[in-house]
Structure 1
């Protein structure tokens, strides 16, 4: 679950909110494509995309439901969100059972590799 964010102020216009969400979704989709195709963008292009996404994720006023839907559909953006808000909420979007399973698998692999040497 995402950390609570401020709700839109009464001065936020629905058209402005819609434009922000559409931009967030478009950039999140682009990040997913770049994550699946390493090297398809220059490091500068990738960094610019991440900075733009960080700016959108840091802006107050996105409704929690909309933010959670975007993050749920775009794992790379969810990971970025976790990193941005780590000091407040930790890795709150990562399911604990998956994290524990991954850690267990790594420990087993390290154990097997150490026995070979």
Structure 2
């Protein structure tokens, strides 16, 4: 059995070093992607939920099927688009309305009072 030359040893060491660097880079990239995804889920659920528009009651401002990022706030003015959850048979359904009169909102063609 012949001994490897010094250039062969260097090539093998470079190959092993490259493999370690590649695995380390891949692992850190995966960790970063998981962290960013977890942060995005937290932002989307706690601070800025993303909702889909159902029906045509919001036209022409919003079209059916559009995605809307809602910012949680308690400061409402006339004409603001409002998103809220209501319970139907113990299931939460999101709903959006575009109030046309202060203290009232329109949902499904019916005008409701806020009081």
Same fold (TM over 0.5): no
Bigger share in strand: 2
TM norm structure 1: 0.24
Give the TM-score normalised by the residue count of structure 2.
0.24
- Asked which structure has the greater CA Rg, the reply is 2
| Greater relative CO (CA pairs within 8 A, separation 6+) | 1
